[in-house]
Structure 1
Amino acid sequence: MSGPEREKKLRILIVDDNPDDVFLIKQNITEAAAGRFVIETASALKEGLEKAADSDVVLLDLSLPDSSGIATLEKMGKTRPGLPIIVITGLNDEGTAIDAVKTGAQDYIVKDTLDGKLLVKAVQYAVERKKIEAEAAAARAELEVILDSSPNAMFIVDSELTVKKANRTSEKTFGRSRESMTGEFLGNAINCENCGGGAKCGDNKECRRCAIRLFAIDAGAENERYERLEVKKVMKTGGGVEEKYFYFSVVPVTYRGEHSVLVSLEDTTVRKRMEERLEKANEQLIELDAVKSNFLAMVSHELRTPLTSIRGYITLILGGAAGKLNSEQVSFVESVRNNTEKLVLLINDLLDMSKIELGTFSVKKSRQDVSMIVKKTCRDMEAANAHRQVKIRFKSEPEENYAPVDSHRLSQVVANLINNACKHAPDNSEVLVSVSCAEDEAGERPQIGTLITVEDKGTGIEKENLERVFNRFFQVVEEEKRAHKGVGLGLNIAKGIVDAHGGRIWAESEGRGKGAKFSVFLPEE
Structure 2
Amino acid sequence: MVESDTAALPAVGRKTALIADGDPQVRELAAAALTDAGLTVHAVADGPAALEALYSQAPDVALLDADLPGIPGLEVLRRIRDEGDTGCPVILLAGGPAGDLVEGAFDLGINDYVLKPFTDEQLAHRTLVTLARSARKQHERRTMGALRASTRRISAAIRETNDPYLMVELAVSGLGRAFGACSVWLYTFDDERAPLVDTTWAPDGAADFQHPPEDKSRELAQALWNKGTVLTGGRDAEEDHDGHPSLSEWATVPKVHAVAVAPLGHGGGAFGLVWMVKEGAAAVWSQAETSLLQHVAGNLAHGLIQGHLITAQQQVVERLQELDTAKNNFVATVNHELRTPITSIAGYLDLVLEGAGGEVPEGAVRMLEVVVRNASRLRELIEDLLMLSRMDFDDAVSRSEPVRIGQLLDAVATALVPVATAKDVSLVCNNGMDLVVDGDAKKLEQVLTNVVSNAVKFTPANGQVHMDIEQETHEDGSDWAVIRVSDTGIGIPAEDLPNLFHRFFRASNALTIQGTGLGLAIAKGVVQQHGGDLTVESAVGKGTTFSVQLPLTRVSDASPRSLHPEKRSAG
> TM-score, normalised to structure 2's length?
0.46
Q: Which has the higher contact order (CA 8 A, sep 6+)?
A: 2
> TM-score, normalised to structure 1's length?
0.49
